[in-house]
Amino acid sequence: MAQVTVNVSKPAVPAEQPGPWRDAWRAFRKNKNAVIGCVLIIVFMIIAIIAPFIAPFDYKEQALLERLKPPSSTHWFGTDDLGRDLFSRTIYGARISLWVGFFSVIGSIIFGTILGVLAGYYGKWIDMIISRLFDILLAFPSILLAIAIVAILGPSLQNALYAIAIVNIPTYGRLIRAKVLSLKSEEYITAARAIGMKNNRILISHILPNSITPIIVQGTLGIATAIIEAAALGFLGLGAQPPEPEWGKMLSDSRQFIQTAPWTVIFPGVSIMFTVLAFNLLGDGLRDILDPRMKN
């Protein structure tokens, strides 16, 4: 009898569907700067979250007999002029800096996006009023305007957050306005109007989703700027108030001990440097990945 061979073909494995976000993820993994920045940010976030569990001392605890002690096995970063453990204060300071950075940028993005969309989409007198408001805010150096706002509201960490958010609103507002101006003349927006789609639905379904890319990039870079501005306000005594362990305030309190106890300045300063560097690396990487003009 002849043997009959039956070829059973295996079902084809569906190919991985391409998409803009999937392509962006692949490009992100290949971008070393973005990956390094992301890893550093995750490390700082973890440190901020678990600070109560890894801090060997209470950041408010004073021990005057231990003041200005150099780094040792007991106090890894040494102590400050009041005998407080600098390691504990530095890791708690990560909480404050990240909190101010994230929430001030979120506030700037929310209000900047609303104003930018209204100005770009509706135009006319609305655009004129909002654009002049942005011009007025941008006419002042951001740190000086933040100082003026905090001086009016009163020195505190919360008021510093409000000030940083306010001075950065025009940055996001003008960015969104320019993007909306270019999008509202697109054919699919014209088609949406032709079929009777209302303006609020066009904004939510078409304008905002296509405007999110530059906001992600600018927001990441903006967190680094917000951290520096918060440190500057803290250094001037207008941000976090004692005994809160804000890095800028720690630098201000320790500036008179730069020569006799340099560790009191080094560790808060290095923490600011690495945190800002991490967000700048991530922001530059996201710009290279998400900006079509940066692609080959």
Domain ranges of the chain: 31-59+76-294
C-alpha 241, offset from chain centre: 22
The backbone region for 31, taken as left when phi is positive above 0, alpha when psi lies in -120 to 50, beta otherwise, is: beta
Phi, psi for 79 (deg, rounded to 5): -130, 160
Contacts of residue 55, defined as CB under 8 A and 6 or more positions apart, other chains included, come to 85, 87, 88, 91, 92
Cβ 72 vs Cβ 129: under 8 Å: no
Q: Tell me the one-letter amino acid at 100.
A: V
Q: Which residues of the chain have pLDDT under 50?
A: 1-2, 13-15
Contacts of residue 220, defined as CB under 8 A and 6 or more positions apart, other chains included, come to 279, 282, 283, 286
Name the CATH superfamily housing domain 31-59+76-294. MetI-like (1.10.3720.10)
The string of DSSP codes covering 120-165 is HHH-HHHHHHHHHHHHHHHTS-HHHHHHHHHHHH-SSHHHHHHHHH
pLDDT at position 208, please? 82
Cβ 227 vs Cβ 103: under 8 Å: no
pLDDT at position 26, please? 78
